[in-house]
């Protein structure tokens, strides 16, 4: 049985995109694989930081959008 954990599997797990069966399989594969577990923890920490990131356009961009909208016919 192929026990390699792919980067795609780990990312899908972090974003909750794996089925229950695939999640169980992933747990079995990373159980004895410290490298994969470390990578999973890193991805989870990165996702946490990305989720906290809030992006807002500058007021200058807001004004340009409003100006364009007002001139659009």
Q: Is residue 36 part of a domain?
A: yes
Q: Is residue 1 part of a domain?
A: no
Q: Is residue 62 part of a domain?
A: yes
Q: Which domain holds residue 28?
A: 7-71
Among 59, 32, 43, which residue's Cα sits nearest to residue 8?
43
How sure is the predictor about 1, in pLDDT bands with cuts at 50, 70 and 90?
A: very low
For residue 14, what are the contacts with CB-CB under 8 A and spacing of at least 6? 40, 43, 44, 47
Q: Is residue 2 part of a domain?
A: no
Give the Cα separation of 48 and 51 in Å (integer). 5
pLDDT in tens, 4-37: 899 999 999 999 999 999 999 999 999 888 999 9
CB 13 within 8 A of CB 20: no
Radius of gyration of the chain (CA): 21
Task: Count up the domains in the chain and report the number.
Answer: 1
């Amino acid at each position: 049985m192929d026990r390699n954990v792919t980067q795609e599997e780990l990312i899908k797990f972090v974003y909750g995109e794996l089925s229950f069966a695939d999640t169980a399989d992933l747990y079995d594969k990373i159980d004895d694989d410290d490298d994969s577990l470390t990578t999973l923890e890193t991805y989870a920490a990165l996702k946490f930081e990305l989720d906290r990131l809030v992006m807002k356009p500058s007021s200058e961009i807001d004004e340009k959008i409003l100006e364009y909208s007002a001139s659009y016919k």
